[in-house]
Structure 1
């Protein structure tokens, strides 16, 4: 019997079970189970999934970006402003993506060229973005958007399966392949796990980090489209503070906040779980600050767990039971 190997169950399995239970409870005991409820939930998951992938890549390299929320607002505003001028989808979508690349690229330059810690650099940029919101025409509001902008976010198959969810799933599949199979994915883990060892292996951490910030910007631009296109009114500062949603989705999915460890599938599960928690709070009629508190607690617990040697904990309990 001692020769039988123990089956190692990944943490994502337990997280999936917990998420599934939450989904079932919401489905049968709230209005979540209606077509409108499912449609709204999938739209929320769509933009959050793309933004969480962006932060997953950044965190995997041992960095952080707390300007992602305000960055998404600026990307969405630029897209809406362009659409308001009568431009079609094949113009305003690239505008959002390019805006994200420029904003995140500037963060990357601060981190890689000037050696500013990513936390400090992105914290400074949050305030810069907030200042830009004030300077934007009409305070960053774009109203009266027509179908050239709202068509993507409003279209759904069978009344409950939104097109934006298909877009998000496609992007997720691409990055899951990159992280798992492409050489670039291996470099992400190497840089985040041990930068010095990565250098000895011929990897340039600064080049990898710069590319990650550029990718993050593109993804945030896409996320802004998925978030804002269901709306006929765009408010640039509506996404201020959402970076906590993005980060909590990543860390609750098992990604180590210090970098070098984490699965993109875990991030996707974390997105669903965080979305379920937020939806449950809405159905319970709780104020937004309860949601903020929950996100903070989730991040704290996830960081504490990821920084704890779980093998030592298992040994302790085995000895205690002996």
Structure 2
């Protein structure tokens, strides 16, 4: 295991505690934090409504769905993989959950558990094939992306499944104590969980080691197949959570839900400084990256910018941010 210490890159310190961890988090993410601050200032100058409490809560609620996916995507990209199927898994889990409630009159708990199970099954398929074959993860998840999306259309015949259950709709639209949106509460819990996995467990250290040098990690005794299987299964679970929350917010399961969601998740991870070649990444950076995307989308909506132009603007911002990060890393090297 002595080799493992040399393989494991320096990990992030998400500011769970004040003091050194917070200072290090700010120092490591200074560039994107400044970018987020400037973006907020510019949007506020153009439209002061941006800083209202209702709008900020709306930004957090919208960003939370992307972050569910991005947290798991961070793990997979650190491993040197990719998961293109998460958007489609969102759709199929959403329609399975709403279909069980609306068509079979099952309880909300049973329907939600069924949706989570479906997401984990798709993730486990990705993980098993990635771990036991030489097929690139890009191709594997591209295939399951189409399978899951097709399943969502087959189940619903291309039509939304409407749900009028107050208890189900509360999952995505309710508030804790009338203040905190439920999707944000789930996000806080999942953030703590992912931080703990990546920074306080052997599993997290092994992910960095495998992404940094898979062959050396194998010689160090790390079971790479188990690590890959866990990461993709966890990604399926997180996509299922995102799909169920989104279906609850829309009061229906939509077979078109989650289209392009995988790209937003990857963008958040890359903006947060995670290396696409694997071996390096930060959960804290991913959070900031997702906030940048969420704030940008919200600001463009407030400014009345057409959704068609929003794709172009977001693409330019992502390209510039990634290029700046590459330059910074070259200077450090």
- TM bucket (normalised to shorter chain) is 0.7 to 0.9
Please report the TM-score for the alignment, with normalisation by the length of structure 1: 0.87
CA apart distance, 1:143:
1.3
**2:89 equivalent among 71, 75, 85:** 71
The structure-2 alpha-carbon separation of the partners of 1:314 and 1:99, relative to structure 1 and needing over 3 Å to count, comes to: closer
Q: What is residue 106 of structure 2 aligned with on the other side?
A: 87
CA contact (8 A) 1:53 1:264 kept: yes
Q: What is residue 42 of structure 1 aligned with on the other side?
A: 60
CA contact (8 A) 1:248 1:298 kept: no
Q: Name stretches of at least 5 consecutive residues in structure 1 with no aligned partner.
A: 1-6, 316-322
d(CA) in 2 for partners of 1:51, 1:81: 23
Q: What is residue 281 of structure 1 aligned with on the other side?
A: 300
d(CA) in 1 for partners of 2:316, 2:129: 30
Q: What is residue 18 of structure 1 aligned with on the other side?
A: 35
d(CA) in 2 for partners of 1:31, 1:261: 37
Matched, 1:147 2:166: yes
Q: What is residue 133 of structure 2 aligned with on the other side?
A: 114
CA apart distance, 1:20:
2.9
d(CA) in 2 for partners of 1:314, 1:208: 30
Q: What is residue 237 of structure 1 aligned with on the other side?
A: 256
Q: Name stretches of at least 5 consecutive residues in structure 2 with no aligned partner.
A: 1-22
Matched, 1:33 2:46: no
The structure-2 alpha-carbon separation of the partners of 1:152 and 1:75, relative to structure 1 and needing over 3 Å to count, comes to: same
d(CA) in 1 for partners of 2:328, 2:75: 24
**1:58 equivalent among 62, 73, 76:** 76
CA contact (8 A) 2:149 2:255 kept: no
The structure-2 alpha-carbon separation of the partners of 1:289 and 1:38, relative to structure 1 and needing over 3 Å to count, comes to: same
d(CA) in 2 for partners of 1:95, 1:297: 39
CA contact (8 A) 1:50 1:219 kept: yes
CA contact (8 A) 2:83 2:138 kept: yes
CA apart distance, 1:27:
5.0
CA apart distance, 1:160:
5.2
d(CA) in 1 for partners of 2:233, 2:126: 9
CA apart distance, 1:298:
4.6
d(CA) in 2 for partners of 1:43, 1:309: 32
CA contact (8 A) 2:208 2:279 kept: yes
CA contact (8 A) 1:189 1:260 kept: yes
CA apart distance, 1:54:
1.4
CA apart distance, 1:230:
1.7
Secondary structure at the aligned position of 2:82 is classed as coil
Aligned residue-pair number: 308
CA apart distance, 1:189:
0.3
Q: 1:135-162: CA deviations, max 9, x gaps? A: 1224151114321210122212475531
Q: 1:267-286: CA deviations, max 9, x gaps? A: 01111111011111212222
Please report the TM-score for the alignment, with normalisation by the length of structure 2: 0.84
